[in-house]
C-alpha cells in the first residue's frame, strides 16, 4: 500500500519534515507492506520556508534585519530549488513572537524587517517572491516594508515619517524614484488565509490589532491613520485595493504589497501544495496521513490538515491525522473528511514536557495505530 505523509509542523516542537519522518518511522516498525512518500507541508505561517525548501531541495539563507521595534536580529528566507523563487515568512522579521508582552504596540511596530527580507531576495535575482504573512506584530499597512525597499514616505517638511502605525497620519508625499528597478519584473505572491479588507469593523485594525497590543484608544488612532495612509498610497499608485480580500491581512501588509508591488493573494496551503506537487503525489495512494500541533474547529479554515483532507477526498483516499492536542470541538472534522484523528500527547503531561518529547510520542502513537490498521 502506498501512503502519502503530508503533515504541517508541530509548532515550537517539530518541523514538518521531522513530523513526517516520525510518522514514517512509526509505520515501518510494524508494517513492511507500506511504501511511502513524505511531503512536508505548511499553510503560509511558521514552517513554510522550511517546508518548501525541503520539498524543492532549495536552501535557507540567513539575513540580518530589523525586528518590529527596529532592533537588529538574525532572520532567514528560503530560495527554492529553481533558484529563482524566494519564500519569506513575515513572522521571521516582523512577528509577534519576537516581542515580549510589554513590547507589543502597533503604534510603533514596523514591517521594515520584512522589506529587508524582500530586498535580500531581489538581490539574489529572484523572479518570484512569495511572502507568508501570518503572525505579524504590525499595523502599518506595509509602510515599513516600502521604506526598506527605497520608497520615501515623507511628511510636510520633506522628512521620512517614523516607523509604525502611529505615524501614518503624517504622510504627505511619496517618492518612489529610488526603488529597485528590478521590482517591476518580479512576481509577488501573498500566502494568506485572511480575506479581511483594509478598513472598517472587519478590517485590519479592528479585527487584528487588539491581539498585537492595541488599546481601544489605539484602535481609533490606528484606523484613522490607516484611512489617511490608504488615501495617499492609492492616490500615488492610481489603483484601489483597500476593498480586495486580504488587503487587511497582517495589519494591512496585504494592502501594501498589492498597491505598491502589484502582488496577488492566494491561500497559503494552495501555494505550498502546488509547489510540493502534493496532488500528483497522492495518485495511487491507499492512505493519506496529515497532522499539526493542535487540531480544533478552526482547522477547517485554511489549515494544512483540512487542505490535505479536501485534496484526498477528491481522489476518494481515506485520511487520518495525528495532533499534539485535539480540541473537544474537533468532532466537526469527522464529517466525511477524516477517518481518524489521533492525539499524540498524554493529557497528564505539561505542555513543555510534551513538546520536548513530541517525536517519541508521535512515533509511538503511529506505531500503535498501525498495529491494528487494516486497509
pLDDT tens digits for range 148-176: 999 999 999 999 999 999 999 999 999 99
Report the pLDDT averaged over residues 264-276. Answer: 93
Report the pLDDT averaged over residues 323-333. Answer: 77
Domain residue ranges in the chain: 2-41+276-372, 48-266
- The share of the chain scoring above pLDDT 70, in percent, equals 95
Q: How many CB atoms lie within 10 A of CB 129?
A: 25
Cell of 334: 469527522
What does the pLDDT look like over 31-79, one tens digit per residue? 888 899 999 999 888 889 998 998 899 999 999 999 999 999 999 999 9
pLDDT band at 374 (very low <50, low <70, confident <90, very high): low
Buried b / exposed e along 173-186 (16+ C-beta atoms within 10 A): ebeeeebeeebeeb
pLDDT band at 335 (very low <50, low <70, confident <90, very high): low
Is residue 272 within 8 Å of residue 43, measured between CB atoms? yes
Specify the CATH superfamily of domain 48-266. Glycerate kinase, domain 2 (3.90.1510.10)
Can you tell me which residue has the cell 521620512? 160
Find all residues with CB under 8 Å of 244, minimum gap 6, and list them. Answer: 197, 254, 258, 265
Torsion of CA 215, 216, 217, 223, to 10 degrees: 100
The CATH fold of domain 2-41+276-372: Rossmann fold (3.40.50)
What does the pLDDT look like over 84-98, one tens digit per residue? 999 999 999 999 999
Mean pLDDT for the chain overall: 92
pLDDT band at 252 (very low <50, low <70, confident <90, very high): very high
* CATH topology identical between 2-41+276-372 and 48-266: no
pTM, full prediction? 0.88
pLDDT at position 375 over 90: no
In angstroms, rounded to a whole number, what is the distance separating the alpha carbons of residues 271 and 1? 28
Q: Find residue 129's DSSP bridge partners.
A: 86, 188
Report the pLDDT averaged over residues 345-359. Answer: 71
Decide which of 117 and 12 is more confident: 117
Amino acid at each position: 500500500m502506498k501512503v502519502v505523509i503530508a503533515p504541517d509542523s508541530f509548532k515550537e516542537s517539530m518541523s514538518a519534515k521531522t513530523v513526517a519522518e516520525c510518522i514514517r518511522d512509526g509505520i515501518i516498525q510494524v508494517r513492511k507492506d507500506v511504501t511511502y512518500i513524505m511531503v512536508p507541508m505548511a499553510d503560509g505561517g511558521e514552517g513554510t520556508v522550511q517546508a518548501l525548501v525541503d520539498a524543492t531541495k532549495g536552501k535557507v539563507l540567513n539575513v540580518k534585519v530589523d525586528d518590529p521595534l527596529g532592533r537588529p536580529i538574525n532572520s532567514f528566507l528560503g530560495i527554492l530549488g529553481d533558484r529563482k523563487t524566494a519564500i519569506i515568512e513575515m513572522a521571521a522579521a516582523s512577528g509577534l513572537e519576537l516581542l515580549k508582552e510589554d513590547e507589543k504596540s502597533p503604534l510603533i511596530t514596523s514591517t521594515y524587517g520584512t522589506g529587508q527580507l524582500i530586498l535580500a531576495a531581489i538581490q539574489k535575482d529572484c523572479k518570484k517572491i512569495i511572502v507568508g504573512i501570518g503572525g505579524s506584530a504590525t499595523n502599518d499597512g506595509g509602510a515599513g516594508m516600502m521604506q526598506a525597499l527605497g520608497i520615501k514616505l515623507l511628511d510636510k517638511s520633506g522628512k521620512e515619517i517614523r516607523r509604525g502605525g502611529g505615524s501614518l497620519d503624517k504622510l504627505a508625499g511619496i517618492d518612489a524614484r529610488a526603488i529597485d528597478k528590478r521590482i517591476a519584473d518580479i512576481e509577488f505572491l501573498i500566502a494568506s488565509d485572511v480575506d479581511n479588507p483594509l478598513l472598517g469593523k472587519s478590517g485590519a485594525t479592528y479585527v487584528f490589532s487588539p491581539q498585537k497590543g492595541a488599546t481601544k484608544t489605539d484602535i481609533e488612532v490606528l484606523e484613522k491613520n490607516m484611512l489617511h495612509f490608504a488615501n495617499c498610497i492609492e492616490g500615488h499608485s492610481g489603483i484601489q485595493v483597500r476593498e480586495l480580500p486580504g488587503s487587511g491581512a497582517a495589519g494591512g501588509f496585504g494592502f501594501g504589497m498589492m498597491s505598491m508591488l502589484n502582488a496577488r493573494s492566494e491561500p497559503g496551503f494552495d501555494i505550498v501544495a502546488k509547489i510540493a506537487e502534493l496532488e500528483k503525489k497522492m495518485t495511487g495512494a491507499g492512505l493519506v496521513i496529515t497532522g499539526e500541533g493542535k487540531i480544533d474547529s478552526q482547522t477547517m479554515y485554511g489549515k494544512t490538515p483540512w487542505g490535505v483532507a479536501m485534496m484526498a477526498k477528491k481522489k476518494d483516499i481515506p485520511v487520518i491525522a495525528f495532533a499534539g492536542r485535539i480540541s473537544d470541538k474537533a468532532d466537526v472534522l469527522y464529517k466525511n473528511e477524516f477517518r481518524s484523528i489521533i492525539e499524540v500527547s498524554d493529557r497528564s503531561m505539561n505542555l513543555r514536557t510534551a513538546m520536548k518529547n513530541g517525536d517519541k510520542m508521535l512515533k509511538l502513537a503511529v506505531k500503535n495505530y498501525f498495529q491494528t490498521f487494516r486497509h
